[in-house]
Amino acid sequence: MYTWDELETMLHQCSRCALSQSRNLPVMGRGSHKASIMLVAEAPGAQEDQQGLPFVGPAGRVLDILLASANLTRQDVYITNIIKCHPPGNRDPKPEEQNACMPFLRCETALLRPPVIVCLGRIAAQKLIDPHFKIMRQHGTWVERKGYWMTAVYHPSFILRDPSRLEETKKDFQSVIRKLQEIEDSKYPL
């Protein structure tokens, strides 16, 4: 098992896919290394590529609003992406890029062992929950996989384009807190 520092060093040296040629900075996950909630989006955007940090642009401000609606801050969660390098033109990550980068996400998950994983958007949900996941119909639903409780919510960038989705996504975030409480209660049934 690698340490967090070793993982970040390997990330900066990574050339497992062609995005290593076009990226400015790879974007390692950020947040608490003791978090019970891991948020996983699809890929860094252009501003993230410049700063090497996840969710620093307008979508990051939406994410902060969603976290606040569940009484959470970035220090309470760990935020990462399926792929760690920005795809040019903000295109969707290709399957081969996702596959090449998955070992980093697996290592982050193994280090964190979060009881709850929240996919931000369709692409993360289709990679981690179900290849046929329909985000419009299935957001806010829960499945258990290998001891992790997983759900998906709309990506903050989608909410920027359609602000009418904000309130239902706040409810989905609030359900994350309820799920954590259920998990905690199930450990102590009496």
Question: If binding is defined by CB under 6 A, does position 11 make contact with ligand SF4?
Answer: yes
d(CA 116, CA 136): 21
Work out which of 97, 124, 176, 179 binds ligand SF4, going by CB under 6 A.
Answer: 97
- Phi-psi domain of 55 (left: phi exceeds 0; alpha: psi -120 through 50; beta: other): left
Question: If binding is defined by CB under 6 A, does position 107 make contact with ligand SF4?
Answer: no
Restricted to residues 120-179, the positions that interact with ligand SF4 (CB under 6 A) are none
- Phi-psi domain of 31 (left: phi exceeds 0; alpha: psi -120 through 50; beta: other): left
- Parallel, antiparallel or unpaired: strands 30-31 and 116-120: unpaired
Q: Which is nearer to ligand SF4, 16 or 30 (CB)?
A: 16
Q: Which is nearer to ligand SF4, 2 or 142 (CB)?
A: 2
What 3-state class would DSSP assign to 47? helix
Q: Which residue has the tokens 């001891």?
A: 147
Question: If binding is defined by CB under 6 A, does position 100 make contact with ligand SF4?
Answer: yes
CA angle (120 as vertex; 116, 122 as ends), nearest 5: 120
Q: Which is nearer to ligand SF4, 15 or 164 (CB)?
A: 15
Question: If binding is defined by CB under 6 A, does position 101 make contact with ligand SF4?
Answer: yes
Question: If binding is defined by CB under 6 A, does position 105 make contact with ligand SF4?
Answer: no
Q: Which is nearer to ligand SF4, 14 or 153 (CB)?
A: 14
Neighbours of 95 (CB within 10 A): 9
Work out which of 2, 4, 7, 16 binds ligand SF4, going by CB under 6 A.
Answer: 16
Restricted to residues 37-96, the positions that interact with ligand SF4 (CB under 6 A) are 83-85
Neighbours of 187 (CB within 10 A): 6
Binding residues for ligand SF4, rule: CB under 6 A, are: 11, 14-17, 19-20, 26, 83-85, 97, 100-101
